[in-house]
Amino acid sequence: MSVMPVMEPSAARTVLRRRFLMCRPEHFAVTYAINPWMDPARGADAGKAVEQWEALRAAYLGLGHEVSLIDPIEGLPDMVFAANGALVVGGRVYGARFTHPERHAEGPAYAGWLKENGFADVLEAQHTNEGEGDFLTLDHVILAGTGFRTDLAAHQEAQEFLGRPVVTLRLVDPRFYHLDTALFPLGGGNVAYFPGAFSPGSRAVLERLFPDAVLASEEDAAVLGLNAVCDGRNVVINAEAAELIGTLRARGYEPVPVELSELRKAGGGPKCCTLELRS
């Protein structure tokens, strides 16, 4: 009988160098409410958001990743959430088509940047989808969220365009309105997630696909601890997600805590600010 190790060595985890696209939150504000985190009466401070965002960008650069920048557009306060701008897999771009009119103009802005920067193969989506907010790419499968933003039909559209199997997961808690607020890929075909964000059927799917997953508590999910970015070993994660940070460390990952409290006022965290460009 084998004994489970208490700690898994982080040296065993392999880092893959990533290419990210980000958008400095110069025009960040909370002027409308399209998720339960947003309160226009409370507002948000763009200066503080920029400061926190710069630290996130510096963390990626410090880990050896590449960060490209798209120019922020005045009047698009949520444009900082680059993850929603598209889904880029195998050099192909599945364009975003936003749910709310307040964010409609972001889809073409991101598609335009990608076209001008070497991604010629861009599909203008027929169906509503919010890019990597609801599509999380693993080696063999793309996990896709629905229930609040992205249409089920977009899951099929993305699968057909990208030629990757897309597995639908149903989100049921409005605080976790995008898949990337409830789950993140860890590399090596594993994920971390908060079970309470998913329908019973989707929870069963996750248990079957990822028997070894890292499960997060509601407390960690409620500080957007699952809106994290893992490069295979390092996990850039909201600093407040204390328990999850401890669990990840014990499982052989290197947590890199960041402070993004200002962006959380719009319902976003590290992953929301980060679009991965997969060639």
* Active-site residue list: 178, 272
Q: Does 178 bind ligand ARG (CB under 6 A)?
A: yes
Nearer to ligand ARG, 83 or 229 (CB): 83
Applying CB under 6 A, the span of 7-15, 64-72, 118-126, 264-272 interacting with ligand ARG comes to 264-272
CB burial of 147-185 (b: ≥16 within 10 Å; e: otherwise) equals: bbbbbeebbebbbebbebebbbbbbebebbbbbbbbbbb
Residue 34 binding ligand ARG, by CB under 6 A:
yes
Q: Tell me if 274 contacts ligand ARG by CB under 6 A.
A: no
Please calculate the CA angle 35-194-203 and round it to the nearest 5 degrees: 105
The residue among 235 and 272 lying less far from ligand ARG, judged by its C-beta, is 272
Site residues (CB under 6 A) for ligand ARG, limited to 118-137? 133
Q: Per residue in 89-105, is it b (16+ CB within 10 Å) or e — as a string?
A: beebbbbbbbbeebbee
Do the Cβ atoms of 242 and 261 come closer than 8 Å? no
Q: Contact between 35 and ligand ARG (CB under 6 A)?
A: yes
When the beta carbons of 187 and 267 are compared against ligand ARG, the nearer one is 267
By the rule CB under 6 A, 150 interacts with ligand ARG:
no
The position carrying tokens 């709310």 is: 100
Among 52, 78, 186, 229, interactor with ligand ARG by CB under 6 A: 78
255 is a contact residue toward ligand ARG (CB under 6 A): no
The stretch among 9-17, 30-38, 194-202, 207-215 that binds ligand ARG (CB under 6 A) is 30-38
Q: Are strands 142-146 and 135-137 parallel, antiparallel or unpaired?
A: antiparallel
- Answer for which of 171, 272, 275, 277 binds ligand ARG (CB under 6 A) is 272
Query: What count of Cα atoms within 13 Å lies in the side-chain half-sphere of residue 51?
Result: 8
34 or 125: whose CB is closer to ligand ARG?
34
CA of 146: how far to CAs of 33, 198, 231, 256, in Å? 19, 10, 25, 29
- Check residue 28 for interaction with ligand ARG (CB under 6 A): no
DSSP 64: T
> Which listed residue (25, 85, 185, 268) binds ligand ARG by CB under 6 A?
268
Strand ranges, E, within 114-211: 122-123, 135-137, 142-146, 166-170, 183-187, 190-193
Q: Which residues in 185-224 contact ligand ARG (CB under 6 A)?
A: none
CA distance 67 to 60: 7
Question: Taking contact as CB under 6 A, which single stretch among the options 21-29, 75-83, 140-148, 151-159 is the one that binds ligand ARG?
Answer: 75-83
User: Is residue 235 within 8 Å of 248, Cβ to Cβ?
Assistant: yes
Place of tokens 């890199």: 256
Our finding on whether 267 is near ligand ARG (CB under 6 A) is yes
Q: Point out which span in 32-40, 87-95, 193-201, 210-218 binds ligand ARG (CB under 6 A).
A: 32-40
- Of all helices (H) and strands (E), which one includes residue 215? strand 214-215
Q: Rule CB under 6 A: which residues touch ligand ARG?
A: 34-35, 38, 78, 81, 83-84, 133, 178, 180-181, 266-268, 272
